[in-house]
Amino acid sequence: MIGALGGINLDFVGGIVGVVLTLMVFSYLLGDNPAYRLALHLFVGAVSGYAFGVVSWEILIMRVGVPLLLGQQYALLIPLLLGVLLLIKVVPKHAFAGNVSVAFLVGTGTAVAISGAVLGTIVPQVSATARAAAPASGANTPVGWLDGLLVVAGTVCTLLAFGYIGRRRRERPVGCAWPAAVVTHVGRWFLVVAFGVAFGGAVSAALSVFVGRVQYLIDFVTGLA
């Protein structure tokens, strides 16, 4: 229970607001209407306001302001200065002052992302694919070799499906040799299956959220009785 304020049950008020907003969002099923748009704007506004509050409190005040006031970490003046320079970019005349902050952000972010992608995705995935092709990988299960073969074939074919390299042939359209064409075709079928799985998962997730909302409405109504 959140509590009561002046005899008003805040849980009940919150439930009412939630039910009304849920119904307003569901009204989009009947077409675009002002109620849906109002709920949408409320959601966006609430999320933006909450984000501003979180960032202001947890970052600007608790992580920067308080340590500086207590004289503990003067090094925090550097990110604070970079942040101020970034804000100056809103003034076109002095926008160049924020280039240092942007350069720092882009450089740091790129370095972290690249190192993470190489060490965290490419190398482990290539290694795992190579291990899947090894005969020893399917020793534990009867069709383990088929699993490894599918993994390797799917990876190779899917990567080759994005190769748009052809050869100009006399009096024939540009194309590639038939083995490459077969591999590309197989790769596209792997892509179709992957997209189908992803779409099925998205539908399942959306349906789960929908069921959750309906459950919320039913619980609220039954709670009133």
Partner 1 sequence: MVECLVCGTPNAQADTVCANCGAQLAGGSLAAAPALTTESPVLDQVSNPDVGHPDPRGGPSTEGAAQGDWLAQLLAASGDDTEVTGPAASPGEGFQQPELPIWLRDLSPEEVGPAADVEMPVPGDEGGPAGEPGEVGLLAPDVGPDDLNELAALSGASAAMLSWGGYSNQAERDAAVDAGLALLADELAAGDLEDDLLAGAIPVSAQEGLVGPAPQWGSAMAASELEVGGTGLDGLWDGPEANLAGQPIADWLSVESSRGASLVRGSPSAAAAVALPGLGEARADVTGETLLARAHLIEELASRPSTPRRVMSRRSLIGRSDRLMRLLVPAVLVAVVVLALVAPLGAWGKLVAVRLPAGYPAGPARMYDVVRHVGRGDKVLVAFEYGQAEADELDLVAAPVVRQLLVQEADISVVSTRTDGLVAARGLLRETLGGMVASGAIRDSDPGERYAVAGYRPGDAVGVAQMLHADDPPDLVVVFAARAGPLRWWVEQSRAMVDPPVIVAGTSAALEAVTSPYFGVDAGQLAGAVSGVSGAAYYERIAKLEMDQPAARRLEVLAAGNLAIVALVIVGAAASGLGGARDSRGGRM
The two three-digit tokens of residue 162, written as one number:
């994005």
Residue with tokens 């972290």: 112
Task: List the one residue from 127, 182, 189, 224 that touches partner 1 (CB under 8 A).
Answer: 127
Q: How far is the CB of 36 from partner 1 (least distance, A)?
A: 13
Residue with tokens 């992957």: 194
The reply on whether position 207 binds partner 1 by CB under 8 A is yes
- For CA atoms 190, 194, 196, 197, give the dihedral sign: positive
- For CA atoms 130, 133, 135, 136, give the dihedral sign: positive
Taking the mean position of all CA atoms in its chain, how far away is CA 45?
A: 21
Angle at 84 between CA 78 and CA 102, to 5 degrees: 80
Task: List the one residue from 4, 17, 33, 58 that touches partner 1 (CB under 8 A).
Answer: 58
Q: How far is the CB of 181 from partner 1 (least distance, A)?
A: 26
* Smaller CB separation from partner 1, 163 or 200: 200
Task: List the one residue from 16, 17, 50, 84 that touches partner 1 (CB under 8 A).
Answer: 50
Report whether 190 contacts 184 (CB < 8 A).
no
Q: How far is the CB of 94 from partner 1 (least distance, A)?
A: 21
Helices 10-26 and 178-224 cross at an angle (nearest 10°) of: 140
The reply on whether position 117 binds partner 1 by CB under 8 A is yes
Q: Alpha-carbon distance 152 to 203, whole Å?
A: 28
* Smaller CB separation from partner 1, 161 or 176: 161
Task: List the one residue from 61, 75, 103, 119 that touches partner 1 (CB under 8 A).
Answer: 119
The reply on whether position 23 binds partner 1 by CB under 8 A is no
Instruction: Please report, as ranges, the residues that interact with partner 1 according to CB under 8 A.
Output: 29-31, 47, 50-51, 54-55, 58-59, 62, 108-109, 112-113, 115-117, 119-121, 124-125, 127-129, 131-132, 137, 151, 194, 197-198, 201-216, 218
